[in-house]
């Protein structure tokens, strides 16, 4: 448990709820995957009457806060305020960069000097010390583009600022400022064709008396980039002279997901055209590192196609009906009541996502074990196995994957509303999240790093019943607030989607009854195949052999279970 987690409990026990909210919110900003803390914050806020606007992140970096404020104003088309905050973010960034560089000049632990041996003087260690300081200062770019508590950095700060900044300025000020910003961006990415085209357009808007070459990139950024390049050359030279290896990281990551529908095409006559310069696009979806295809055959009869990605307002999404029959739903629901364990998959926590519901689950191997022992019908336990394999084949076929899709985790889950706890309820059954990355709504990012299940590629949910209230499945934007699609579960309905930050999702509160489904996660990497599934495959193979009266495999199914 971290210090901030402990502090929020201490403040709560002392009845200092506002400070408890502060400590919890600061922790949650660095750990957006921590659903329990999110629920604690909501409870504290309700008890203390704290508005969302009053939440304070005590570890926030000023330049990132200003940048986020600028983005919000930009998305609200309030361009003048957006520019104000972007400029403030740059000023704060330069101040924090100075502080970061000064801290690099502190004392070093001599144990970290790899070549320090008996007989070497302190003077002979000075070159190594200088290089360590230089590398540390060079890394301030990465440090200041990383939110506290995160391992991954934002898509580097300056390209974000400069590309966002150069869109609205043409509507507020002049082409000179757009040119000023676009040329600054080109210091980082001199070969970006889109921005080069925009530079040509901005130059065409200048008065005849103005020389385009006289308008240079903004000086503060030009000095910054020049220093960064000189540092890189010094470090490479030192590496060669002192005999250590050094590879320059790519510090200037382009702003991904940009939509260029407003980009000025080269060679186009722009006189009188309604063009707004460079477009960064609002709320870009994270890039998926594979070809995106969908619309493949459903391969089974009677399955009804309902909606595709476009109709569900997203990427790599599909909604299908009749994947299960009514009889199969009833049989699975009956099996669920016989094999479910409270808190299964969440270290026995009865209510891992919300205190207002009981969570129960079971794996496919557990179902087969219970079936083999006669605690549930073996035929029904096998149905769980068979329908999950059916779902896997459908997902693999519909999304037209070129490689095999493997099970990463198979889980039958039920959420039951707890009586007496549904009045004035304002939480979700399962908070908004993504399946293979840590959703960070404040940064509009999804960090693909531990403890997220970064190996998951596709997800699917196969519903078993609809005799409950609430429990709708929802997709949202990356802000975790704007709902893009809502799906009411019912028998045989299946929703499937890619597992990344392009598909944030959650479950609305189950306010009455029990909601049951088969939750499935898949991976394209065989290294991360579900071990219980592999064992279940072996058990099924043995049972098939027994049913055929063959005993060629010298394995007892009970040993596998």
Query: Residues 45, 61, 317, 515: which is the catalytic one?
Result: 515
CB contact at 8 A, 323 and 461: no
Residue 261 phi, psi (nearest 5):
-70, -20
DSSP state of 15: T
Q: Is 34 helix (H, G, I), strand (E, B) or coil?
A: coil
* Residue that the structure tokens 């629920």 belong to: 39
CA 143, CA 152: separation in Å to the nearest integer? 10
Distances (CA, A) of 69 to 75, 82, 83, 84: 10, 7, 10, 10
- Planar angle of CA 314, 319, 322, nearest 5 degrees: 180
CA dihedral 238, 242, 244, 248 (to 10 degrees): 0
What tokens were used for 93?
């960034």
Distances (CA, A) of 293 to 260, 314, 450, 485, 497: 21, 13, 28, 20, 12
515 catalytically annotated? yes
Q: Is 396 helix (H, G, I), strand (E, B) or coil?
A: helix
* CB neighbours of residue 530 within 10 Å: 22
CA 359, CA 348: separation in Å to the nearest integer? 9
Q: Is 373 helix (H, G, I), strand (E, B) or coil?
A: coil
Q: Is 149 helix (H, G, I), strand (E, B) or coil?
A: coil
- Closest to 145 in 3D by CA, of 133, 136, 158, 132: 158
- Planar angle of CA 455, 343, 341, nearest 5 degrees: 110
Cα 186 to its chain centre, rounded Å, is 29
* Residue that the structure tokens 């087969």 belong to: 368
List active site positions.
Answer: 515
């Amino acid at each position: 448990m971290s210090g901030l987690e402990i502090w929020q409990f201490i403040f709560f026990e002392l009845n200092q709820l506002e400070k408890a909210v502060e400590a919890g919110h600061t922790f949650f900003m660095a750990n957006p995957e921590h659903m329990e803390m999110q629920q604690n914050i909501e409870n504290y806020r309700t008890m203390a009457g704290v508005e969302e606007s009053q939440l304070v992140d005590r570890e926030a970096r000023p330049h990132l806060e200003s940048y986020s404020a600028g983005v919000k104003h930009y998305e609200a088309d309030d361009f003048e305020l957006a520019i104000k905050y972007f400029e403030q973010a740059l000023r704060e960034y330069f101040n924090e960069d100075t502080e970061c560089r000064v801290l690099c000049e502190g004392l070093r632990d001599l144990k970290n000097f790899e070549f320090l041996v008996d007989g070497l003087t302190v003077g002979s260690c000075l070159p190594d010390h200088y290089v360590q300081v230089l590398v540390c200062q060079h890394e301030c770019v990465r440090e200041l583009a990383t939110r506290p508590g995160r391992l991954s950095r934002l898509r580097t700060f300056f390209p974000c600022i400069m590309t966002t900044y150069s869109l609205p300025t043409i509507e507020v000020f002049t082409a000179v400022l757009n040119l000023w910003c676009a040329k600054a961006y080109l210091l980082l990415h001199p070969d970006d064709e889109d921005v080069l085209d925009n530079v040509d357009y901005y130059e065409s808007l200048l008065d005849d008396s103005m020389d385009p070459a006289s308008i240079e990139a903004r000086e503060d950024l030009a000095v910054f980039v020049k220093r960064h390049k000189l540092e890189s050359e010094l470090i490479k030279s030192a590496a060669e002279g002192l005999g250590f290896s050094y590879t320059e990281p790519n510090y200037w990551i382009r702003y991904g997901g940009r939509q260029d529908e407003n980009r000025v095409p080269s060679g186009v006559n722009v006189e009188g055209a309604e063009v707004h310069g460079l477009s960064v696009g609002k709320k870009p979806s994270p890039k998926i590192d594979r070809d995106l295809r969908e619309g493949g055959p459903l391969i089974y009869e009677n399955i009804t196609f309902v909606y595709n990605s476009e109709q569900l307002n997203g990427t790599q999404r599909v909604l299908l009906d009749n994947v299960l029959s009514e009889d199969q739903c009833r049989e699975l629901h009956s099996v669920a009541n016989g094999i479910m364990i409270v808190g299964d998959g969440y270290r026995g926590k009865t209510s891992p996502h919300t205190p207002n519901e009981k969570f129960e689950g079971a794996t496919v191997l557990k179902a087969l074990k219970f079936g083999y022992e006669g605690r549930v019908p073996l035929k029904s336990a096998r149905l769980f196995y068979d329908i999950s394999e059916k779902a896997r084949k459908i997902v693999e076929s519909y999304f037209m994957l070129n490689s095999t899709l493997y099970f990463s985790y198979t889980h039958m889950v039920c959420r039951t509303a707890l009586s007496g706890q549904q009045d004035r309820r304002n939480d979700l059954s399962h908070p908004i999240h993504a399946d293979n990355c840590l959703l960070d709504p404040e940064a509009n990012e999804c960090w693909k790093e531990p403890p997220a299940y970064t190996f998951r590629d596709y997800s699917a949910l196969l519903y078993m019943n609809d005799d409950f209230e609430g429990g709708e499945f929802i997709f949202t934007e990356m802000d975790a607030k704007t709902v893009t699609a809502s799906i009411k579960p019912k028998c045989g309905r299946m929703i499937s989607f890619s597992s990344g930050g392009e598909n944030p999702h959650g479950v609305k509160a189950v306010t009455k009854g029990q909601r049951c489904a088969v939750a499935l996660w898949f991976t394209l990497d065989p290294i991360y195949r579900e071990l219980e599934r592999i064992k279940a495959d072996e058990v099924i193979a043995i049972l098939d052999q027994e049913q055929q009266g063959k005993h060629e495999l010298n394995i007892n199914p009970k040993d596998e279970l």
